[in-house]
Amino acid sequence: MNFFEHQERARRQTRWLVAAFIVATVVFVLLIDLVLLAAMGEFRALAGGGFSLRAVAAPLAGTSAIVAGVILLASLYRTMTLRSGGAVVAAEMGGVRVDADTSDPLRQRLRNVVEEMALASGVPVPDVYVLERESGINAFAAGYTTADAAIAVTRGALEKLDRDQLQGVIAHEFSHILNGDMRLNIRMIGVLFGILVISVIGRRMLALRHGGFRSRGSNRGGIVAIGLAITLIGYAGLFMARWIKAAVSRKREFLADASAVQFTRNPDGIAGALKRIAADSRHGLLDVDAEEVGHMLFEAGTVSRLFATHPPLLERIRRIDPAFTEAQLTRVAARMAHQQQRAQAMRESQEAVATPKAEGQGVDARHWADSIGNPTEQQLLWASLLSASLSPSLQEAAHSVEWAPEVLLALLLDRNQSLRDEQLLLVARTLGSESEQQLRYIWQDLRQLAPEQKLPLVEMTFPALKRRPLGELRQLQRLIGELIEIDEHVDVFEYAVARMLAVMIDDLLDPPSASYHRMRRLTSVASEAAALIAMLARLGHDDEALAKKATAVGLAALGLQEDAAATMADDWRAVLDRTLKPLDELRLKEKEQLVRALMATASTDGRLVREEAELMRVICAALHVPLPMTGAVNSSIS
């Protein structure tokens, strides 16, 4: 399956989850009604022939409404607490955010691995957290969309895994992000909370037995009996919740393991991580209560194997390494016991990375779409080299919550001195002289930046920008709009910066709605799709005949006639502004068809120019499709 098919499967599983929740709620209501009938002595009345349905109808209806209401309200409450996305889950688990200026080499290695994979995948860099108090080897990804995603790993994973193994674990988590599993997982937390809350109510009622309740013994005994019954029903709910999570999660873990191997092209990485978990005394166990999030962990966080959310660990290892035997775990454990983590971290922090070159990288347009949600080892290498080529001061500024906005603004400064002075004056008036001065410093670092490095640098600022207040982000958005209009000309890169920032802000406003399932068909937006294809063809091909050919190729891929784009506007910005929102509402399979048609259009002449690469990136960002890196621009199609 490709990216779009995985997304569609995740959405089907979400509908199945809701159906299972409704069934569980009905079962709970019926069981509680039976407890009520028993407490009222109606079973004895039934045996004696004195049972009257009319006499118990009102109590049963009231109890059923209360139980269903408690379950639904509890689920709604938990869902609302998670609306801010993955950072909330990571913080609740005791996660500590990894800042860009961290001096811990293990944390810096983690940030580098996450950032490289995000750049290679074409998604915003997720927030990075470390569960400092957890010595077991584990990790998870949480969030509704790539804009609010967070990746967390345990301290044990940082200390006990080498870089290849850590990369395998992070690649596994990126698979969950790209395949839609992450969004399903966080929704599952909210939905199942209502089922689990019944057992909590039962335990509270049982606590009355130990002094919290003062009344006659018969009343007290009745409440304790009801509490015990509700607790038992609650534990039945716990098993039901585990069954639901197991039914949804187990196959996806095998898929994520396989995707990690395909992503890194290094089966020893994730296999080595799994072997270390099996050989480690702590395994993947967490000290914090992991019942609620167990389905989203890299490896099971609890000892319970009843309705386990993860396949057996040894089976996962054998899927990747068929030659594996359990005897190998003894040697793995011995190596782990004698590791010198400090020496290893020092060696890895001093790794030399080559500087990327602007030529020689081809773009295979035929497989470009297939790498969506499944980036290749080559794309990961491009991301790694690109990140390492940036100056330390520029990386520090891009990762800084304080100065990330200035990095965005500096990328938009004009090379013309008079226009640049006008822009700087506008920044000083809006943000103050300190920001204007910082802009001048960053501008000096940016002057030597290659064009293909600019958009990835923009995406590197997003994790820091997400931590700024929404009001400041809106102010930054307005300021960017004013800066790019000063010279009365907006190029593709400037439009991309403004549009990608707008997408990020809109997604942050309401992450669950940002991942809402769109249902429009291509036939309802055929004119918008045709206009977008024609615009991309015209902007990426100087020759009129070649532009017409590229348009025909794209339209044919969508099954549209060549005259469908005849009335396309000359203003490419107007085309993007008019078409991207309705096209984002397409069904997943038809959105895939559109993206493939756009890629065919861009690659018609056998090369990908910078404007085409930037347009494809901003289009895919607006469509919520992660576009992997294509390497250098102006490159030949292989």
Q: Could you give the residue numbers annotated as active site?
A: 173
Structure-token match 């397409």, residue found:
586
- CA 538, 541, 544 angle in degrees (round to 5)? 70
Amino acid letter, residue 485: E
- CA 389, 392, 397 angle in degrees (round to 5)? 115
Q: What are the Cα distances from residue 178, in Å, to 6, 139, 143, 314?
A: 8, 16, 11, 26
Do 179 and 149 meet the contact criterion of CB atoms below 8 Å apart? no
- CA 520, 577, 458 angle in degrees (round to 5)? 105
Which helix (H) or strand (E) segment holds residue 153: the answer is strand 150-154
Neighbour count for residue 501 (Cβ, 10 Å):
22
Do 114 and 123 meet the contact criterion of CB atoms below 8 Å apart? no
3-state secondary structure of 515: coil
Residues with Cβ < 8 Å from 73, sequence gap 6 or more?
A: 194
As given in the structure block, the two tokens for residue 600 are 């065919």
Dihedral (C-alpha) 468, 472, 478, 484: value to the nearest 10 degrees? -50
**Cα-to-chain-centroid distance, residue 114:** 12
Packing angle, helices 492-509 and 404-411, rounded to 10: 150
| Residue 3 CB-density burial (10 A; 0-12 exposed, 13-18 middle, 19+ buried) | buried
Buried b (16+ CB within 10 A) or exposed e, 399-423: bbeebbbbbbbbbbbbeeeeebeeb
Distance (Å, rounded) from C-alpha 337 to C-alpha 330? 11
As given in the structure block, the two tokens for residue 286 are 């967490």
Distance (Å, rounded) from C-alpha 346 to C-alpha 557? 52
Could you tell me the strand order of the sheet in which 127-131 lies?
Answer: 95-97, 127-131, 150-154, 139-142
The DSSP code for 371 is G
Distance (Å, rounded) from C-alpha 620 to C-alpha 598? 10
Closest CA to 178 of 342, 60, 1: 1
Strand partners, 586: 520
Strand partners, 635: 608
Neighbour count for residue 447 (Cβ, 10 Å):
10
Do 603 and 369 meet the contact criterion of CB atoms below 8 Å apart? no
Distance (Å, rounded) from C-alpha 463 to C-alpha 117? 14
| Residue 342 CB-density burial (10 A; 0-12 exposed, 13-18 middle, 19+ buried) | exposed
- Intra-chain end-to-end CA distance of the chain, in Å: 24
- Interstrand relation of 139-142 and 127-131 (parallel, antiparallel or unpaired): unpaired
As given in the structure block, the two tokens for residue 388 are 């390492």
